[in-house]
Structure 1
Amino acid sequence: MQTDELADHLFASVLGALDVLTVHIGDQFGVYDLLHRDGPLTPEEVAERSGLHPRYAREWLEQQTVAGLVDVDDPVRPAQERRYSLPEEHAAVLADRDSPSFFTPFARMVAAAAAQLPALQDAYRTGGGVGWEAFGPLMRTAQADANRPLFLGPLAHDWLPVLPEVHRDLTAGGRVADIGCGEGWSSIGIALGYPAARVDGFDVDPASVDAARRHAASYGVGERVTFHLVDAAAASTGPASEVGGYDLVTAFECVHDLPDPVSVLGRARALVRPGGTVLVMDEKVPETFTGPGDPVEQLMYGISLLVCLPDGLSHPGSVGTGTVMRPDTLRGYAREAGFVDVQVLPVEHDMFRFYRLTLPDSP
C-alpha cells in the first residue's frame, strides 16, 4: 500500500470509528427507534422524547445526516425547524432487533472495549488480561444482541437440519447441552425450533445466566430450557440426568474464549451419548495466516486484540487462543480432548464456520 493509499485508508477508518461511536450514542438514547416510529421529528422533539440535551440532539442529528444514516426533510430550513427521520431501509440495520443486519450491538461492543483502553494497555505491558466482567453490561448485551437474530432464526430452521440425525433426535424430544450459552439465545432458539426438545445451558457469568432465565421465560420455554451457573469443564447433565445423556452438545462462538478449551471439549465428549453429536460454531477466518486479509479476518483480529484475547489471558494458565481460531487449532484441541477429528459442515455463513467433532465410536 502506497503512502497516499495508507493515509486515505486510515482517514476512512477514522470516519468509520466516529460513525460507530455516534451510532452507539444514538442507540443508547433510543433515537433510532424514535425516528423510525415517530419521525420526521425536529431536534427539540427528539430531545424531549429521548432525554438528549437539545443542543446535543441537534448536532447529533446533523452529523448522522451528513454521514448518510438519517434523512432530513428540508435542509435549508432553520436548524431548529428541520425534521429528521430514519429511512425504512436503514431501520433493519439500526432499529430492528430481529433483523440479521442489526448493527448497533457491534457499535456497543466497540464502545465497551474503548472504555477499557487504559486496562488493556496495562495488560499489553504485563501480559495479564481484562476479564469479561470488567467490560460490563454493554459488552455482555452487545454479544447477546449481535447473535440473537441468528440463534432465533437460522440456527434451528437452517443450520441444525444440515445434520439429519440431529434434526431427527431433537424433533423426537432429544436433549441438548449448550456450553457457553451467554444470555441464552442459542438455547432458546433450539427450544423454539424443536418444541419437544429439552435444553440445558451452561455459563460462568452470573449476569448472563440471570438474563438467559428471563429471556427463556419471556419466550415461553422456561419449562424446557434450564440454565446453570457453572464452569462447563465441570458441568454435569443437570440435576436429574447422568453423564452421557445428551443427544447434542453445542459450543457456539465460545471455544476461542476458553482459558482451557481442551478440558471443556473433554467434558463435552463425556456429556454426549454414544452416537450423539458435538457441534462447535466459531469464527470463519481463513485456514492459514497469509498477511493482508479479508474483512472478516480483519474484524476478528480487532475483536481479539480488544476483547477476546485479554479476556482469555485474564485467567491463570490460559492457552490464550484469541478470536482468530483457525480450523487446525480447534482440531488440535479436539484431538487432545479425545475426539478423532473435526469435520467442517456445509453451512454457508459469512462470519461463522460450523464443525462436527468426530467421536471415537462414530460411524
Structure 2
Amino acid sequence: MSINEDRLKELIETATTDIGAIAYAPLAIIGDRLGLYDALAEHGPLTPRELADRTDTAERYVREWLAASAASDYVSYDPETKRYSLSPEQALLLADTVGPASPLAGLFQIAVAAGGSLPDIETAFRTGEGVGWHEHDEGVFEGMSRISELDFKENLVSDWIPALEGVDEKLREGARVADLGCGYGESTITMAQAYPHSTFVGVDYHEGSIEAARERAAAAGVADQVSFEVATAKKYTGAEYDLVTTFDCLHDMGDPVGVAKHVRETLAADGTWMIVEPLSGDQVDENLNPRGRMFYSMSTMLCTPNALDQEGSHALGAQAGEARLREVVTEGGFTQFRRATETPPFNMVLEAKP
C-alpha cells in the first residue's frame, strides 16, 4: 500500500487542530466560570499578572491559559506590549458582559459535559440501546440553555414568529401556546415577555429542567402567564392551542410522527406548529463541513441516543434535513408545510398547518 505523503500531512494537521480544540474546551469553561473573559472584555488589554489580580486567580495558571487562548484565536495578543485583550467579536461570543450568556462558552460546556457519558455511549454502540437526555451531566442542560438564549433573544420575536402566517398578530391579541421540549424555559419566557396578552405552557419530560424553568419564570415576572408541565411531547395536556413550538428538539424524539399526530390533535383548526431545527442539507455530502461535523458529532453523543431511548422507530439525528422533516410532519396529519425563514448558519424555521 502506497502512502500519499501530502495527504498524510493534511490528516496530521487536521488531527492536531482537533486535539487542540478538545484540549482547549475545558479551558474555555474555566475562563467562563472564573470571569477571565469578562475581565478581559471590561478591562483589557491586560498582562497575565493584571488579569490574575482582577480575577483573584493564580498568575502562573492565567499566563498559560492566556497563551492557549491566544493560540486558539479566542484571545488577542500584542507581542509589543505583551498584553492580552478581546476583540469586539471575541467578546460577543465569550464574555457575559457583552454577549447574551456567552454562547460559545455554552457550546464548549455541552461538548465537555457530553464527554462524561462516553462509557454509556460506548456501551450503547455495542447494544443499540439508547441513553436518555436525563442521564447526561447537568452541564449539557446548562450549556444548551445558554446557547439557546442567544437565538431566542436575537431571533425568536423579531424574526421567527413574524415569519409565520398571522401568528404575531394572534399573540399580540391573546393566544394559547404550548412550547414542547422547553428545557429551562428560555423560549417560553421570552415569548411571554413579548406577548403579555397570551398564555403559555412549557412542556419537558425532564423534571429537573421543569423545576428550573418554573424558578426562572418567577424571577422574570411572568409566572402569571406561564405554567410548566412534566410530560412527553406525545402526552402533554390541553387543546385548541393557537401555536405549538418545538425548538431544536423534534429530531431528539423517538417517535416524531407520533408527536406530529398529537400536535395536530391539540392545535386549533387555524393553529400553527413552528418547528426550529438545525439548518442542514438532506444528504450527507451536503453536510460535510465544520458545521456538519459539530452537529453530527453532538448528535452521536446526545440526540440519536436520546431518540433510541424512547419508544418509536425513528432516530432522525440533528441533521435530518428539511425533506425528512416534511415526511414526518405530513405523515402526522399536517397538509401545509414550508420553510418560513432561516438564520444561517445554524437554524431553519419550518411552519406546519393543519
User: TM-score of the superposition, structure 2-length normalised?
Assistant: 0.88
Hey, what's the Cα distance between the residues in 1 that align with 2:337 and 2:179? Answer: 18
Quick one: which amino acid aligns to residue 109 of structure 1? I
User: Where does residue 179 of structure 1 map in the other structure?
Assistant: 180
**1:287 is matched with which residue?**
282
Q: Which residue of 2 aligns with 1:315?
A: 310
> What does 1:59-70 align with in structure 2 at a 5 Å threshold?
59-70=64-75
Distance 1:87 1:292, change over 3 A: closer
* Comparing 90-99 and 124-133, the one that deviates more: 90-99
- 1:225 pairs with 2:226: yes
Aligned length, in residue pairs? 348
Amino acid at match of 2:246: A
Give the match for residue 262 of structure 1: 257
- Is the 2:279–2:342 Cα contact (8 Å) retained in structure 1? no
Change (3 A) 1:264 1:70: same
Partner letter of residue 288 of structure 1? Answer: Q
**Distance in 1 separating the partners of 2:264 and 2:110:** 32
SS at match of 2:316: coil
**In the TM superposition, what is the alpha-carbon distance from 1:110 to its structure 2 partner?**
0.8
Task: Give 1:121 shift.
Answer: 1.3
Per-residue CA deviation, residues 49-84 of structure 1 (Å, 9 max, x unaligned), is 6565554333212322343433456778xxxxx764
The aligned amino acid for 1:7 is: I
In structure 1, the partner of 2:3 is none
Distance in 2 between residues matched to 1:352 and 1:71, nearest whole Å: 29
- Which amino acid is 1:25 matched to? I
| Whole-angstrom distance in 1 between the partners of 2:79 and 2:326 | 58
**Mapping of residues 111-260 of structure 1, within 5 Å:** 111-237=112-238, 243=239, 245-260=240-255
SS in 2 for 1:345: strand
Distance 1:100 1:32 in 2: 12
Letter of the aligned partner of 2:86 in structure 1?
A: L
Deviation at 1:108, TM superposition (A): 0.5
Distance 1:90 1:228, change over 3 A: same
Counterpart residue number, 1:2: 7
In 2, Cα distance between equivalents of 1:334 and 1:292: 22
The separation in 2 between residues aligned to 1:215 and 1:357, in whole angstroms, is 29
Provide the rounded CA distance (Å) in 1 between the counterparts of 2:42 and 2:102.
Answer: 19
Residue of structure 2 equivalent to 1:79: none
CA 1:48–1:98 in structure 2 vs 1: closer, same or farther (change >3 Å)? closer
Is the alpha carbon distance of 1:316 and 1:292 closer, same or farther for their aligned partners in structure 2, counting shifts above 3 Å? closer
Q: Is the 8 A contact 2:280 2:286 kept in 1?
A: no
Instruction: Using the TM superposition, give the Cα deviation of residue 179 of structure 1 relative to its aligned residue in structure 2, in angstroms.
Output: 0.9
Using a 3 Å threshold, how does the CA distance of structure 1 residues 119 and 50 change in structure 2: closer, same or farther?
farther
Unaligned runs of 5+ in 2: 1-5
Distance 2:28 2:172 in 1: 41
Deviation at 1:213, TM superposition (A): 1.6
CA contact (8 A) 2:116 2:137 kept: no
Aligned-partner Cα distance in 1 for 2:148–2:286 = 28
- Contact kept, 8 Å, 2:253 with 2:310, in 1: the verdict is no
**Mapping for residues 334-353 of structure 1, pairs under 5 Å:** 334-353=329-348
CA RMSD of aligned residues (A): 2.6
Query: Structure 1 105/164 Cα, relative in aligned 2: closer, same or farther at 3 Å?
Result: same
What is the CA-CA distance between 1:41 and the residue it aligns to? 5.1
Give the CA deviation at 1:214: 2.0
Q: Which residue matches 1:240?
A: none
Residue equivalent to 1:24:
29
Deviation for aligned residue 1:355: 1.4
Gaps of 5+ in 1: 77-81, 238-242
Q: Are 2:293 and 1:298 aligned?
A: yes
The one-letter code sitting in structure 2 at the alignment partner of 1:315 is Q
CA deviation vs aligned residue, 1:187-220 (integer Å, no higher than 9, x gap): 1121222222211111111121122122222222
Query: Which of 275-284 and 8-17 deviates more?
Result: 8-17
Letter of the 1:351 counterpart: F
Residue 66 to residue 314, structure 1, CA distance change in 2 (3 Å):
same
Distance 1:68 1:299 in 2: 18
The verdict on how the C-alpha distance between 1:52 and 1:345 changes in structure 2, with shifts beyond 3 A counting, is same
Distance in 2, Cα, partners of 1:20 & 1:114: 11
Question: Residue 14 of structure 1: CA displacement?
Answer: 2.3
- Relative to the length of structure 1, the TM-score reads 0.86
- CA separation of 1:2 and 1:179: change in aligned 2, threshold 3 A: same
C-alpha contact 1:334 1:341 (8 A) present in aligned 2: no
Distance 1:302 1:85 in 2: 31
Residue in structure 1 matched with residue 19 of structure 2 by the alignment: 14
Which stretch of structure 1 is more off in the superposition, 219-228 or 169-178? 219-228
Distance 1:321 1:5, change over 3 A: same
Cα deviation 1:12-59 (Å, max 9, x = unaligned): 222233333321221232321233334455545655665655543332
- Identity rate of aligned residues, in percent? 32
- Supply the distance in 1 between the matched residues of 2:165 and 2:338 (Cα, whole angstroms): 15
1:193 partner letter: A
Is the 1:343–1:358 contact (alpha carbons within 8 Å) kept by the matching residues of 2?
Answer: no
